[in-house]
Amino acid sequence: MIYLDNAATSLHKPPQVIDAVVEAMNTLGNSDRGMSNGSLKASRTLYEARVKIAELFGCPRPDHVIFTQNSTEALNIAINGTIVSGDHVISTDLEHNSVLRPLYRLETEADVELSFIPADSKGNLSLDSFEKSIKSNTKAIICNHASNLTGNVVNLSKIGTIARRHGLIFIVDASQTAGCIPINMEKVGADIICFTGHKGLMGPQGTGGMCIRQGIEIKPLKVGGTGVKSYSETQPKDYPTRLEAGTLNSHGIAGLSAAIEFIQSIGIDKISEKETRLMNHFYDGVKAIQGVEIYGDFLLPQRVAIVALNIHDYDSGAVSDQLSQKYSIATRPGAHCAPRMHKALGTESRGAVRFSFSWFNTDADIERAVQAVKEIAS
Amino acid sequence: MIYLDNAATSLHKPPQVIDAVVEAMNTLGNSDRGMSNGSLKASRTLYEARVKIAELFGCPRPDHVIFTQNSTEALNIAINGTIVSGDHVISTDLEHNSVLRPLYRLETEADVELSFIPADSKGNLSLDSFEKSIKSNTKAIICNHASNLTGNVVNLSKIGTIARRHGLIFIVDASQTAGCIPINMEKVGADIICFTGHKGLMGPQGTGGMCIRQGIEIKPLKVGGTGVKSYSETQPKDYPTRLEAGTLNSHGIAGLSAAIEFIQSIGIDKISEKETRLMNHFYDGVKAIQGVEIYGDFLLPQRVAIVALNIHDYDSGAVSDQLSQKYSIATRPGAHCAPRMHKALGTESRGAVRFSFSWFNTDADIERAVQAVKEIAS
């Protein structure tokens, strides 16, 4: 199988990641539960992972790195933990349902007002619109770092500057960019960065989290056992415990930690360069094929390695199935949990076929994929 | 290291569990995201795990098995998803903070009324008290299947009968019993069973879930991407998607599935028998040692394999540290996230040292632990 669905999950993990999970499953106890070797080793594993993640995202405090099951959970915590009834929130057409559905729910159930910055036909946002959308009750801007459909990367610094100027909380969904392009939360002015471990970070499923700027107060979504301050009737107020109830996925986090080490040993710039080259190789190969329509903006200074397309008027599901069954190429058709983006691109009814590339893909993979698109289109 | 902290997490996993995680990390895509081999394999892995879990807990519908990060998350979903402002809830002194803190929060923030069935000095509940505590606004009974401190098992059938008679939702915390003693949710009249994967079920950390009786409506805690019905602004209403936003921990769940297969191949009765024998071996060895005080009721017809004790007036942390450092025996001191239970036993100030046993412990482990307690006490 040629796996070109890395924007859904990176199937090929560095061998070090698998080794780290195996090692963890053989040796880790429960972190913060007593002082036996197994428990201490779990605590150290988690702390080391926090340090690496803090470094990766430019988060000054490792204890402000929170582990969650995935990006969706991080976004639910960030959104529900900061927005209250009567607030106004600015978000965008680029968002995934992991942002949209929590926001829509707050709109329905808690009288939260929403504004969405529209995307143009290339999938780009007008950055001026952010400032124009600010109202007296605006509390936060929640924005995707890159669309999971078009691969367009958003200029976070500009939005961060606007957020800072108006005292708004700036929440970034880095699900598609973490591990793929460098992010420094201080430089871009982000208050909360939400990420998942199993995509560009090449870690295990069941891992993800958030980096929080000091001073940002987030109400916990879940409360429960923490192994510390057990006689308090309320969740401890200090991060990370405040947002981490129950036993963490130390086994998966050990793998994530190894994945980040792998990424840092290569350098994100180099990973980005290779993935971009593979993406351009594919894009150049398919853009001139008659009947192929490609979405997104390939002239942007920064993109993640995604090419979404349709062929003639074929349904995206039918094309993706053919790619899988006839050519053994894994892609992702349909709506990609990005309903507003598809509406903006006019692809609501048939979706799109998304090809997404990783460090482990090769030029040979790309050539076979280009050939397959050619054959289906002809 | 002799690992006797299995009630916190079972450090020793069956080799099949680790093999299954490795296999999953090498082959699984993202479930319900397209129809490529990797994605389909992930979907099948999850479905097979649901079937096994449904069978394990006597849950008639595998699609009513929900995956969560841990038991704490399952309990937060169950409690916050069924209890609303003005409701009255009955719970007990046996509960873990994963139940207590969500309940206290609802009491403070949503005018929910709470009654706690007291535990006696042996750690037992008076079952008559449940019926006496019912009021006109009682919505649910939330009860631990076994105390994580004393190991006492609660007679769920009797409570389930009361819940059914009064039309109450019966939520069971099976964190300490899943995989250790048989549970059939229909037979005991439970509406929601919450479990964790990394304790008695011998699976990876980052796994857990809940089994829901058909007809029980639970509001989601998190909402987001589901891979299906992506154009709906609200979370799909059907289980399991309703409560499962974002990418699941398929890698961990593959391991949990293998763990359940391992448990079923031996038989829970046989596992229970061995663990009980190890517990009694330890109990018999330490009960007569001068200065040793043991908590819990060892005459109950059913217990999980836990012995909590104190030695003279020593602090539990000091004893546990000595066990770890001098004897290389891992135990868990302190409060065990069970504040009401410690209050009932009068051990609030110094906690207790908890020894907890698993299928992988041996009589030699027990003998060394008994010897260590003897030496510390003398």
State the pLDDT at residue A38. Answer: 86
Rounded distance between C-alpha atoms, residue A175 and residue A163, angstroms = 21
Strands B306-311 and B353-356: antiparallel
Please name the amino acid found at residue B260. Answer: I
By percentage, how much of chain A surpasses pLDDT 90?
94
In which region does residue B191 sit, left (phi positive, over 0), alpha (psi from -120 to 50) or beta (all else)? alpha
Tokens of B179: 């995989």
Among B227, B184, B193, smallest CA distance to B30 is for B227
Partner-chain contact A36 B1, CB within 8 Å: yes
Rounded distance between C-alpha atoms, residue A352 and residue A150, angstroms = 10
Q: Does A353 reach chain B within 8 Å, measured CB to CB?
A: no
Task: Sort out which chain A residues have CB atoms less than 8 A from B99's CB and list them.
Answer: 224
State the pLDDT at residue A51. Answer: 98
The answer to whether A71 and A172 have CB atoms below 8 angstroms apart is no
Average confidence (pLDDT) over A320-334:
95
Say whether the peptide bond before residue A118 is cis (omega within 30 degrees of 0): no
Partner-chain contact A75 B224, CB within 8 Å: yes
State the pLDDT at residue A31. Answer: 84
Among B292, B336, B6, B296, smallest CA distance to B152 is for B296
Q: Residue A107 burial (CB < 10 Å; 0-12/13-18/19+)?
A: middle
State the pLDDT at residue B294. Answer: 98
- Can you give the pLDDT of all 378 residues of chain B as single tens digits? 999 999 999 999 999 999 999 999 999 998 876 677 888 999 999 999 999 999 999 999 999 999 999 999 999 999 999 999 999 999 999 999 999 999 999 999 999 999 999 999 999 999 899 999 999 999 999 999 999 999 999 999 999 999 999 999 999 999 999 999 999 999 999 999 999 999 999 999 999 999 999 999 999 999 999 888 889 999 999 999 999 999 999 999 999 999 999 999 999 999 999 999 999 999 999 999 999 999 999 999 999 999 999 999 999 999 999 999 999 999 999 999 999 999 999 999 999 999 999 999 999 999 999 999 999 999
Tokens of B2: 């002799």
Rounded distance between C-alpha atoms, residue A236 and residue A220, angstroms = 10
Task: Sort out which chain A residues have CB atoms less than 8 A from B17's CB and list them.
Answer: 25
Among B221, B178, B183, smallest CA distance to B197 is for B178
* pLDDT tens string B21-45: 999 999 999 887 667 788 899 999 9
**C-alpha angle with apex B302: B300 to B308, nearest 5 degrees?**
75
Among A333, A295, A337, smallest CA distance to A316 is for A333
Nearest chain A Cα distance for residue B296, angstroms: 20
Rounded distance between C-alpha atoms, residue A87 and residue A113, angstroms = 6
Partner-chain contact A8 B27, CB within 8 Å: no
Tokens of A5: 């669905």
The answer to whether A72 and B37 have CB atoms below 8 angstroms apart is no
* pLDDT tens string A301-316: 999 999 999 999 999 9
Q: Does A247 reach chain B within 8 Å, measured CB to CB?
A: yes
Strands A65-68 and B208-212: unpaired
The answer to whether A61 and A182 have CB atoms below 8 angstroms apart is no
Q: Residue B107 burial (CB < 10 Å; 0-12/13-18/19+)?
A: middle
Rounded distance between C-alpha atoms, residue B285 and residue B307, angstroms = 11
Task: Sort out which chain B residues have CB atoms less than 8 A from A251's CB and list them.
Answer: 21, 204-206, 252
Please name the amino acid found at residue B279. Answer: M
Partner-chain contact A247 B9, CB within 8 Å: yes
Q: Does B165 reach chain A within 8 Å, measured CB to CB?
A: no
Residue whose entry in the numeric block shows the structure tokens 């968002």: A95
Average confidence (pLDDT) over A267-271:
97
pLDDT at A319 over 90: yes
For each of the domains in chain A, give its residue range(s) and CATH number, in order of start: 2-10+268-377 (3.90.1150.10), 15-266 (3.40.640.10)
Q: ipTM of this predicted complex? A: 0.96
**Please, what is the end-to-end C-alpha distance for chain B in angstroms?**
23
Mean of per-residue pLDDT scores for chain B: 96
Nearest chain B Cα distance for residue A350, angstroms: 12
Q: Does B127 reach chain A within 8 Å, measured CB to CB?
A: no
* pLDDT tens string B214-227: 999 999 999 999 88
Q: What pairs with residue B113 in β-bridges? A: B88
Rounded distance between C-alpha atoms, residue B210 and residue A288, angstroms = 51
Task: Sort out which chain B residues have CB atoms less than 8 A from A206's CB and list them.
Answer: 69, 206-207, 248-252
Task: Sort out which chain B residues have CB atoms less than 8 A from A222's CB and list them.
Answer: 72-73, 76, 102, 221
Task: Sort out which chain B residues have CB atoms less than 8 A from A250's CB and list them.
Answer: 205-206
Please name the amino acid found at residue B282. Answer: F
Partner-chain contact A28 B11, CB within 8 Å: yes
Rounded distance between C-alpha atoms, residue B83 and residue B89, angstroms = 8
Q: Does A13 reach chain B within 8 Å, measured CB to CB?
A: yes
DSSP B243: G
Residue of A nearest to B248 (CA): A206
Nearest chain B Cα distance for residue A73, angstroms: 7
Rounded distance between C-alpha atoms, residue A358 and residue B29, angstroms = 14
Strands A192-196 and A2-3: unpaired
Partner-chain contact B25 A39, CB within 8 Å: no
Closest partner residue to B252 (CB to CB) among A108, A222, A252 is A252
Task: Tell me the helix, strand and coil percentages in chain B, rounded to 5.
Answer: 40, 15, 40
Strands B2-3 and B192-196: unpaired
Residue whose entry in the numeric block shows the structure tokens 């972190």: A31
Residue of A nearest to B35 (CA): A321
By percentage, how much of chain B surpasses pLDDT 90?
94
Q: Does B11 reach chain A within 8 Å, measured CB to CB?
A: yes
* pLDDT tens string A23-76: 999 999 988 766 778 889 999 999 999 999 999 999 999 999 999 999 999 999
Say whether the peptide bond before residue B301 is cis (omega within 30 degrees of 0): no
Partner-chain contact A249 B249, CB within 8 Å: yes
Residue numbers of A between 278 and 337 with CB closer than 8 Å to B: 317, 320-321, 324, 328-337
pLDDT at A350 over 70: yes
State the pLDDT at residue B33. Answer: 66
Q: In 3-state terms, what secondary structure has residue B34?
A: coil
Tokens of B354: 């908890």
Mean of per-residue pLDDT scores for chain A: 96
DSSP A25: H
State the pLDDT at residue B31. Answer: 84
The pLDDT-based confidence of A198 (bands split at 50, 70, 90) is very high
DSSP letters along B300-345, please?
A: SS-B-SEEEEEETT--HHHHHHHHHHHH-EE-B-TTTT-HHHHHHH
Q: Does A234 reach chain B within 8 Å, measured CB to CB?
A: yes
Q: What is the dihedral of CA B339, B341, B346, B347, to 10 degrees?
A: -60
Rounded distance between C-alpha atoms, residue B88 and residue A2, angstroms = 56
Q: Does B210 reach chain A within 8 Å, measured CB to CB?
A: no
